[in-house]
């Protein structure tokens, strides 16, 4: 079921784009600035929203889905939420999906 949910979530191009941006935030968000270095907390949700060009509720829903799947971590700092990839969980998810595909 985890692999099925993951494939549904990752079928959305925006979610894939967000994961790609978070892989190298210094490159993806080079034109943006935030108070803290990306390495410290991750990327502020407002920057992700600006880059995507979508509404705050739409971005929040995407980030919530990725967080619930465990592929991103969220950290609240003051009134802002910062996101970063959870590469260990991404790798575990890839392995789970691969195992399930081999069983077909």
Instruction: Note whether 93 and 7 are within 8 A (CB).
Output: no
CA angle at 91 for the pair 34 and 42, rounded to the nearest 5°: 10
How many domains, in total, are found in the chain? 1
Residue 102, both tokens: 């081999």
What CATH code is carried by the domain that includes residue 90?
Answer: 1.10.10.10
| Res 50: pLDDT | 97
What is the value of pTM for the model shown? 0.90
Q: In which domain, by residue range, is 49 found?
A: 2-102
CA-wise closest residue to 78 among 35, 47, 31, 30: 35
Strand intervals (E) in the chain:
43-44, 72-77, 80-85
pLDDT digits (tens, 9 = 90+) for 27-47: 999 999 999 999 999 999 999
């Amino acid at each position: 079921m985890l692999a099925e949910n993951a494939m549904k979530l990752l079928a959305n191009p925006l979610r894939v784009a967000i994961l790609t941006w978070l892989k190298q935030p210094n490159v993806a968000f080079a034109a943006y600035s935030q108070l803290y270095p990306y390495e410290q907390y991750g990327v502020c949700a407002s920057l992700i929203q600006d880059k995507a060009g979508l509404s705050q509720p739409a971005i929040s829903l995407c980030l919530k889905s990725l967080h619930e799947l465990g592929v991103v971590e969220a950290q609240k700092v003051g009134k802002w939420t910062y996101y970063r990839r959870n590469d260990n969980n991404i790798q575990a998810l890839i392995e789970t999906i691969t195992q399930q595909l081999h069983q077909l």
